[in-house]
Each structure stands twice: as structure tokens, then as C-alpha cells.
Structure 1
């Protein structure tokens, strides 16, 4: 006679087959091979509130193998978080069950996954956030596990190993990853593409590694208990499984990875699994057994709330930190430092001064640099607050090492967890390494802060490998990503305020290596609030301008100097953020850039193409559409024509009426 766990696993597999078949699209094989582990985890181990999928102290489960989404949806249905109609609308327009899990759509989904390896890395971010908050708030308020389910493909992506190295170093003992090692991927057996001994690799990365038969329920339970007993090391449970386990004739076939099973195969498989030949079958006894512990889960969540409420009343320090951890970002109150007008200061240096000035009043601000602490101006933050993991879990600096992609994905996980304000820094040219995780920040509505220094050819002698050309323009193509390229120290502070108070959009801060003059707010009063609208009139003229010069970042000072070379009426517009300006009402955009004023020019030390959106098809753009060279920054600036005299010459050649 079939026991209840076997029956529940069979029902979950039936939902997987039926959902994929009805959609005529999806990935049944891996979901079926992972079903034993995931069903036992959800039904016996996972702590959550059946009435509140967003309960703060819940265990987190991240399906890194996002293509196995029907497995997760089946379990979320048993949790009561989504309906059977949702299951039946798998992969359909407007449904709560898209092809890959999306965090903003579906209750119980913790992260948007699909790009392999990133769910694994995000789970490290979740676990890091939990460890840090537990160390500072206490176990009464924060004490949960982070579980992830990874596939062969996840571990083939190098981001997973980069993140795993940090998880081991950081002693993330409450991170448990189940590796569904079914040894099959879309193109066939994994042996054609991989020979990695993951047990040796992960033990070398300071993980506890447990190998089990991934279909042996008692072995799975024992592995999960052993993982939860290990306080210091993260745990990798390697589950040796069979692709499409339970299928009538296709067990082990790579054809089941990305194709629906045929009707006759589904019927034969259901018979083999002891299921009736009906679609979307969930019997009452399975549902009752699965939900038998729900009352105790509710009681645990209520008891947690009682403990937190008592601590809020009794402990002022806890209450203050709790307020920071739970306060909506737009409500943050931040006092930024003042800067001396006329002083020469790189905007990366201004960022460092801002960070040092506000980090004490923003206790949940955490982050670090990809091994560029002095260059990224995070060294004082690091020495003040210590290195997370190495100096304990209360430390606030994250020493990511040379791991830009894992850094970005880990920040996404920390932001998804909640309670912290994460930032990460590197050179702008290395944003390419971060790019897909940045895209995932935007896709998941995560207000993560990316700090990119050394933003142009002014990097100088390091040469073209380190001199970004296309990067700012390229990042501006990502929907819902806020680009912030400040003109001076004052704009840098405003841009940081914009980024940290964002409720949902990630921000990229583009900062100079070279010194720029600090503009005087008394002379340019619009600099105080103007950046919040993306672009604003920095310097104006009497009446309607004859010429509008637009610039971002380091080229704003160049624009001001160029304007002084004309005896005509010139308006200078600073545009730190094209995204924020584009989002403004048409009336404001026309106020800043009057449509009837067609003589326009723009300057930015990067690709020119996107600027024609603002200056017109025939407008003048001073930029760079080729790679740089190894030479001092000033030499390159002169050589590439980034001088007031050359910029003015280009404008006069185009608009003869301005001569």
C-alpha cells in the first residue's frame, strides 16, 4: 500500500505532467526528478505562515532551476497560495504561473529565476542577509533557513561557484542547497560537457557535502536534519536522481527536459504512480495530510510576533534597528555632507565622503567592493565596520573579491530577503560582468545600488581594457534601471539620495576618477533639487536660448566652459539621468528643452548614439565611438577633442548662425 509521502509525490508529479501538457510547453523531466526532495522539504521541514506568504521570519526557498517551475507551483498550490485555476493556466498570459517563477507575480515565490546559476547566487544573498540580521537583531526576531534547489546547469554556470566560495568563507550555516544531480541537460548527458567532482569542489570551498539517493525519502530526511545541525558550514546535498523519475518509458531521457510528455506517456505514468487517469488530480487525503501541520506553523508565527512585540517594548536599541530594517525606503531621512565650491574632487571621492558621512545613521546599509576598495572609496567603510563573515556576521562590509557577477546576484538576494540596503562597487568597464544580474535587479523591482567608478577614458594609463566606452549607453537600454552620472560632488549626493530612497528601481551610479570642480549652489541653485527630475537647467540665459548644450557627468563642466565661448544666448542643461528625465511629464521636458530651439549639442565621454534623442538627428554630439588608448587622461582628453575650444568649433561648424 502506498504511504502518504509517496502518494503526495505522485500527485505533485501528476500536476507537473498535466500543467506542462495543457500549456504544451515546459520542462517536466527535471521537475519530476526533484519532486521527492522538494515535497519532503515543503511538507515536513519548511517553516512558513500559511496565512501570510511574506511573513518576515519564514524559511526561504529559491528554485534556482527555474525551468522546474511547475514543481514549485504544485507545492504552492498545496500550501494554499495559488489556486487550481492558476495551475491550469501555466505559461498563459496574465497568469500567476509563468514559465519561470517571478517574485512580483506569485505568492510564495521568493526570487525570479531562469538564468541558471543566479538563483544559487541569490540564495547566498538571502542567507547572508539572514545571518547579518540575526547577529544584530537576535534570534528572537531573525532565525530561519535558506533552501535552494539547483540543477546540473546551475552548477555549470561559474557564478554559482563564485557565490559558493563566499558562502563557505562567510560561514553561512543556515544555507542548504539541494543539487538535483540527474546528469541530464537539454542537449543530452552532462558527461558530454562536464567532469566536475562537486563533492570535492564544495568541500574545498568549506561546505558540508552530503550525498544521497535523491529518491530515498529517509535519506533525504536524514540529510536535511544533518544540514540543519551544521551551524557553521553551508550544506550541499547532492541528490543522485533520475531524470523524469516515475515515467513509464522515458525515465532518464533528455527528451523530457524541455518537452511535454505525450498523452499516452502521461496515462501510462499515472498508472505506474498509482494515480487515476484524470487531469489535475489532488485528492482530499493528500491535501489534509500535507496541511496537517499548518496549525502549528500558524502558532509558531504568532509566537514569533509576540516575542518581537515584547522586544520592541523592552529594548530601545532593538526597536531603533528594527525601525531601520522595516522602514519603507522613501521614508529614509539622510543628512548628506556639504562640499567646498571650487574645490577639485572626483565624484568617486565624493561618493566615498558621502558613504562615510551617512553610514553611521544608516545602520542597515551594507555592501562592498569587488576587490577595489581604495579605488571605489569603500576602504574607510571596510575598516570601520569590518568584513562580514571573516570578522563575524555583524560586520557590514562585504569583501566580494574579484567576483563581479556573484556580487551583483548576491545583492539581489539580500534585497529580496528584506531588511537591508545593499550596495556593490567596481569599475564601470566591469559592469559587463554584472550585466545579467543588473537586468534581474530591474526585472524583480529591486532598488539595489550599483556604484561604478572610473567611468570614462579619463582612467588613463590602464588603457582600453579599463576605459568604458559603450557601458553607460548599454546600461541605459535596460528597462527600469536608473542611470545616475553626476556632474560634481553636490550632484553625487543628490543622486545617492535618489538611489537609496527608490522603492523599486535599481540604480547605477557612474563616477569619475579625475577631479571635477565642485559647483557652487549659490551660483547654480537648481543643482540642489534639479537632478531628481533627471535633467534640469543648470545655467540659463535671458529669454529664449539660441543654443542648448546638454551634458552628463564630467562633461557638464566642459559644457559650462564651452558656453562661455559664445556671445549668443546659451542654456546649459545637466542630465545626470536620462531615465528620470524621460519619465517626466511632456510639459516639463519641453520646458527644459523647448522644441522650437533646434540648435542643440550634447557631450558625454562615451557612445554618441543615444544622445540624438535629445539633440535631434542632426544635432552635435561630442562623444567617443571607438576604444581608448593607454596614456594620461589629460593627453587623451586633448587628443579626443574634449576641450571647450573643440566643442565650440564643432557647434559653430554645424550652426553657422551661431558664429
Structure 2
């Protein structure tokens, strides 16, 4: 079909032909890369096109406009569908579609929010996209409660597939979405009944509609390849009140293909060249032109742009008018611009557990930092988030101003939902025991990949939690978290340093994992910080050696006091100076200039040891292969903390004896 032929079509015919052109872009992109997913993108295209053409509210000139509707492609493998739509919106050049899955392109195999304009969330691992969308819808409701519904009135839309629904993280998040009554969340379930390995019926016979009704969702079932039915369903979903909506679209895998409709072979592979040629002929696309999209078709899609731009202008006027109120202006800066206000933090220079210090810091932040929300995985008293809850109240379907989020025992959904809230613009935290970080590790990884500042709070950070035993005592967790690129693992040594870690995390644009103690810790960092230390350097000299430096001890968290005591013991017994280096964040220390790192850890001093009540893995890069790593390289035991301290050799005398060979 030529451009002139397109111009002569009726409007419904133009809608269909433009949808066909999108299918052509998908086929060509996947074929050009020689990898990717065609079938699911074809079955989802009618919903996606209808949404972007008729309903999605956005600014064509600013993909980060605050009040835009959010669209999350939870079925991230269908990325060529999203990239094609982003090109129609004007956010991506055609050249980027041609570079699909190539090094350095803005069109990677799965959508990446930190990389590609218009992508709201990184959605590779299935189930997390819809979960982050729940967080976005939740954050939107909270923001609207404080800024007003004239300023925040966006919808959150999702396309998910069978794989998403099968992931438990999605089910836990959807339970919460129904419980919270997130009625501006609209999910399209592309029920094409095909997965990589074949038909979904091989592994699942769940009544999805009944399941979501039980989750308190509004459920609509339609022919998902009928654009009129899709349009009506979206309108019905937007008129729904009090419940999120799932539109179950019964679709056909690879719908529109010449001979391969319904085939699982279209899921994760390019279509054969002959199939592409035959399909293009069927869809009235020139078979001899790759990435064909006539200007007239592009202009047809963009005919809403003037109205969308006017909508943005009207919104700006609303904000400007409301900003005459100083309180609104301050809140808008927090929610829409990410400004962290001044917070009056308490003096924590006293003996206390760092989890207790965290609780006091949370309460202080609650007073002035309104764009700050989060909760605990049913561990409020243990995580010390109860005071925050008492101040700000639970978020409920009736109370959208509540900023304490009741997640229940759902660690992984909590991690993904807080990521979604963070992506929307609310500073977010989720708290649990450190031993349960494994449950949400995939969400931590996506936070790090997306370069967002989600706060992951972990209390009970070592064997010192005591009698609960090895199932609850983290051993390998801290070093394993340090392996995640771009994640900052913070383990403060006392209450005062917890305050510095907390303040750093509030301002951080990178995700942080705060590892906090159950047991009380004596204040040990005051003297150093009184002379102007900087937590942001990650590691520093806490105790300078008496005399000529001969030994360096490196410690974190609760073991810093132990290192200080051991240093005194060693100086008395060995007759050489012992330096104690506090390393609250290895990642930040590693990023310091070599000159600073060498100042703290002089290369000429080979006699070194690390002390941390965790697996010793990872410390040898600081202490060298000849150094001594003191830690816990087995699972824990169920016993009082004092007994465990002796059992694992973590007393002053036992550590000093272990270091006799230095």
C-alpha cells in the first residue's frame, strides 16, 4: 500500500492499517536483530495501539512530564511493540528501531527505564512490571491526596502476559492492589494461551477471572484483538470506582501472520524471511521496504498532539495558580521535583540498637518529608517502623494520605512495589529482616539496574539476633548484596552513624540497603566525626595507631567496637601501632580516588585483618591473600547472643588470639 492509498482510507481503515504498519516494524526489528519476540507483540498490538492512540495522556515534547499516564510493558520481551509506539510518539528515532538489540542502542532486548525515553520501568524478569505498576498507582494516589486531583490525576496502564500472572510476585502485588482499591490502575492481560514451551494449558488451568474477582478487582473479558471492544473496555475501566481493573483480552498469538498464527515458534524467534514477506503482503505492507511507515500514517497517529500539548499547558496553569500557596509549593517540590526538605533529626549519640536509631530517624522524617512513604513486611515492631505508622497512618482505600504501607508478609512484592513508588517520584522504603533479603533480591537488582533510590531496610543483621536461630541469622547476605552493581550497602557502627547513613540514603539517587542491629551498640564514631569526617567516603580511619603503623583492622557495624578493643589489646601485646578503619560502605570507599584509599589503607602495610559477623567472602581485596578475615563462614546457631559471640570466636580475647600470626 502506498502513502496515497493510506490517505484514501476511511478512519477505521487507517486505524487498522497503522496497526499493520506497527506489526511490520516489529517483524523487521526482530528480523534485523536476528533475535527477539514477535508473536506476543502481535497479539498485544490492538490494545497497545488503541491505548496510545485514544486514551494515553502524555506530553509529546516531554516524556517525563509529572502528570503523564504511566504505561508499563510488564511483558518486557514484547519490547519492539513499545519501541514502535515510542517512535510514533516522537520519543525514538527510526534509526534506533533499526538498531534493536545492538550494543549502545536505546532499544535493548527488554525495556530499560534509565536508558530509553518514554520507558517507565525496566521489565525483563516477568511479574515485576505489573508489581511496579501497582507501586506507581499507589504513589499517584498518595500524591493526589496532598497535591489535589487537579494536579495529579493520571492512570497507570499495564500489558502483562501469561508468564507475568504465573509469577508469585505479581499475584502478591495484585492482592495488595485490590486491597488498596487502586482504581486508576488498568491492566490488560494478553491471554494468548501460548508460552515458549507450548500451550499454557500444559501448566496452568486457573480461572483467572475468578482469581482476580477474589482479589477485589473489576474484571472485564473481551476479544483482545477487536479494537472497538478494547476502546470500550478502557472507557469502562476508567469509569470504575474503588477497584483496579483487569481486562482479560482473549487474543491469538502472532495474529495477522500469514501461516504461523497461534504458533509457539513465533514467541522467541524472528519470523522466517518467507513468512515476513507473506505476512507483509497479507497486511498491505510493501514487502521490499523494511521499516516502512509513510509520513501520512505518522501524521494520522499524531493528530492528538495539539490537544495533548494544550492539556499540559492547562495543567501548568493549574500548578502555577496553586503554587501561590506556600504549603502547596513546598509539597510540589517534594513530590514532583524530588526535593528532600530540611529535617530536624534527633541526637543519637547514645547506646542503642541501630534499628532503634532508624526508627527515631523515620519518625523525624515523617514530620517534614511528606513525599516519603513505605512500610514493613509485617515486622513493624521488630523493624521499628511503628512510630512512623503512628505519625502518618496506614494507607487504606479510604485514607490516601496514609504513608505507612501495610505490605503483609510479602517481601518480594514489597520490593517491587516500593521500586514503582520510587519511579513515580515518592522516596520509598521497605523493611524486613536481613535474612529475608533473598526473597526480594530480584527487586533489589532491578532497583540497581534502574538507578533509582529505593531504600531497602534490613534489621537483625547478624548472628547476634540470637535465639531465632540459623533460619533468621544472616551470614552470607551482606557480602552477597555487595555483589549487586550500583547497590550501596550501608552498615553503620552506632546510632550517630545510622543518622548519617539514613540522611545519605534519603538523598541518594542509587538504591541503598541499610543493615541494622537488633542488639545495642555503644557510640564509637563521635570522636572522628567531631573532626569533620565524611560518611560519603564509605571508609575512614576511626582510630589512629599509637606509634609506627604495623597492623590495620577493618570492621563494619557492630564489629567496629570489637575492632577498637582488639586494637588496644594488640598494641599492648605486639608493640606496634594498630589502625582501625571503619568501612560502613565498601562501594563508596571503592569509588574514592586511589590517593584517598591509599591514605586509609597504605599499600606498604601488609599486616591486615577484617572483622565482620558475616561470611568473610569479599574482604580479601582489602586485606590481601595473607590477611586474616574474621567472620562467620557457617550457618548460625539458636542460642543467646552472648553464647553465640563466644561460640563464633567474636570476643576481644579470641579475636586477638586469632590475629597472633599477623
Q: What does the per-residue CA deviation read over 1:349-384, in whole Å, with 9 as the maximum and x for residues that have no partner?
A: 111111112220211110000000000000111122
Distance 1:634 1:390, change over 3 A: farther
Task: Quote the residue 2:203 is aligned against.
Answer: 193
**What SS class does the counterpart of residue 323 from structure 2 fall into?**
helix
| 1:533 counterpart = 2:537 | yes
Q: Is 2:297 the counterpart of 1:286?
A: yes
Aligned to 1:508: 513
In structure 2, relative to structure 1, the CA distance for the partners of 1:527 and 1:167 (3 Å cut) is: farther
Residues 343 and 364, structure 2, Cα contact 8 Å, conserved in 1: no
Q: 2:4 — aligned with what? A: none
Whether 2:279 is the aligned partner of 1:244: answer: no
Aligned mates of 2:189, 2:338 — CA distance in 1: 36
Q: Are the aligned partners of 1:334 and 1:497 in contact in 2 as well (CA < 8 Å)?
A: no
Aligned to 1:310: 321
What are the equivalent positions in structure 2 for 1:169-318 lying under 5 Å apart? 169-277=179-287, 278-313=289-324, 315-318=325-328
How far apart are the structure 2 equivalents of 1:286 and 1:544?
Answer: 77
- Pairing 1:572–2:580 present: yes
Cα distance in 2 for residues equivalent to 1:69 and 1:164:
23
Secondary structure in structure 2 of the residue aligned to 1:34:
helix
Distance 1:467 1:369 in 2: 18
| CA–CA distance in structure 1, aligned partners of residues 531 and 32 of structure 2 | 57
Contact 1:369 1:376 in 2 (8 A): yes
Query: Do the aligned residues in 1 keep the contact of 2:24 with 2:291 (CA within 8 Å)?
Result: yes
Query: How far did 1:334 drift?
Result: 3.3
Shift of 1:9: 1.0
2:450 maps to which of 415, 436, 444: 444
Residue number among 582, 585, 603 corresponding to 2:590 in the alignment: 582
Name the CA shift for 1:530/1:147 in 2 (closer, same or farther; >3 Å): same
- When the two structures are superposed, what TM-score results if normalisation uses the length of structure 2? 0.96
Q: 547, 553, 560: which is aligned to 2:551?
A: 547
Partner of 2:656: 648
In structure 2, do the counterparts of structure 1 residues 239 and 347 end up closer, same or farther at CA, with 3 Å as the change threshold? same
Which residue of 1 is the match for residue 46 of structure 2? Answer: 36
Q: 2:417 aligns with which of 410, 415, 420?
A: 410
Q: Does 1:428 align with 2:434?
A: yes
Contact kept, 8 Å, 1:209 with 1:237, in 2: the verdict is yes
Find out whether 1:462 has 2:468 as its counterpart. yes
- Runs ≥4 residues deviating over 4 A: none
Unaligned runs of 5+ in 2: 1-8
User: Which residue, 385, 389, 395 being the options, matches 1:382?
Assistant: 389
The SS at the match of 2:619 is: helix
Residues 530-583 of structure 1 show CA distances to partners (whole Å, capped at 9, x for unaligned) of 422111111112454121111000000111111121223111111111001101
Maintained 8 Å contact 2:137/2:184: yes
CA distance in 2, matches of 1:78, 1:426: 43
3-state secondary structure, aligned to 2:622: helix
Q: Deviations over 1:112-146 (max 9, x none)?
A: 11100000000001100111101110012111000
Q: Alpha carbons of 1:113 and 1:80: their partners in 2 closer, same or farther (altered >3 Å)?
A: same
In the TM superposition, residue 390 of structure 1 has moved relative to its aligned partner by: 4.7
- Equivalences for residues 461-480 of structure 1 within 5 A: 461-480=467-486
Task: Specify the SS of the correspondent of 1:26.
Answer: coil
Residue 357 of structure 1 corresponds to 364
Give 1:614's aligned residue.
622
- Tell me the distance in 2 between the aligned counterparts of 1:535 and 1:224: 53
Residues 224 and 390 of structure 1: CA distance in aligned 2, closer, same or farther (over 3 Å): closer
More divergent stretch after superposition (346-355 vs 542-551): 542-551
Residues 609, 627 of structure 2: 8 Å contact kept:
yes
**C-alpha distance in structure 1 between counterparts of 2:482 and 2:617, whole Å:** 12
How far 1:592 moved relative to its partner?
0.6
Contact kept? 1:491, 1:528, Cα under 8 Å: no
What is the distance in 2 between the residues matched to 1:421 and 1:339?
23
Q: For residues 100-111 of structure 1, what are the structure 2 equivalents within 5 Å?
A: 100-111=110-121
Q: Which residue in the other structure is 1:519 paired with?
A: 524
- 1:26 maps onto 2:31 in alignment: no
Return the offset for 1:14: 0.7
User: C-alpha separation between the residues in 2 aligned to 1:192 and 1:365?
Assistant: 44
Pairwise CA distance, 1:332: 4.6
The Cα shift of 1:286 comes to 1.8
Q: Distance in 2 between matches of 1:641 and 1:150?
A: 51
SS at match of 2:496: helix
Could you tell me how far apart the structure 1 residues matched to 2:433 and 2:205 are? Answer: 34
Q: Could you tell me which residue of structure 1 aligns to residue 332 of structure 2?
A: 322
8 Å Cα contact 2:182/2:397 also seen in 1: no
Q: Which runs of 5+ in 1 are unaligned?
A: none
RMSD: 1.3
Q: What residue in structure 2 maps to residue 638 of structure 1? A: 646
CA distance in 2, matches of 1:620, 1:412: 38
In the alignment, the residues of structure 2 paired with residue 340 and residue 45 of structure 1 have an alpha-carbon distance, to the nearest angstrom, of 55
How many residue pairs match? The answer is: 647
Paired with 1:506 and 1:62, the residues of 2 have a C-alpha distance of 21
Task: Summarize deviations over 1:230-286 as a string: whole Å, max 9, x none.
Answer: 121000000000000000110000000001001110111111122221211112332
| 1:632-658 CA-partner distances (Å, limit 9, x unpaired) | 111111111010001100111x12xxx
Deviations 1:395-454 (A, max 9, x none): 000011111111111111111111x11011000000001101100001001011111000
Match of 1:82 in 2: 92
Contact 2:366 2:392 in 1 (8 A): no
Larger deviation, residues 285-294 vs 250-259: 285-294
The 8 Å contact of residues 527 and 538 in structure 1, kept in 2 or not, is answered as no
Q: Deviation per CA, 1:183-225, whole angstroms, max 9, x where unpaired?
A: 0001110111111111011110010000000011111111101
CA contact (8 A) 1:454 1:511 kept: yes
Query: Which string of whole-angstrom CA distances, capped at 9 and with x for unpartnered residues, describes residues 499-549 of structure 1?
Result: 1111x210000001111112362x343686342211111111245412111
| Residue 348 of structure 2 is aligned to residue 339 of structure 1 | yes
Distance 2:503 2:564 in 1: 25
The CA distance in 2 between the partners of 1:530 and 1:57, in whole Å, is 37
SS in 2 for 1:360: helix
| Contact kept in structure 1, 2:349 and 2:496, CA below 8 Å | no
Question: Deviation digits for residues 36-55 of structure 1, max 9, x if unmatched?
Answer: 11000000110111111111
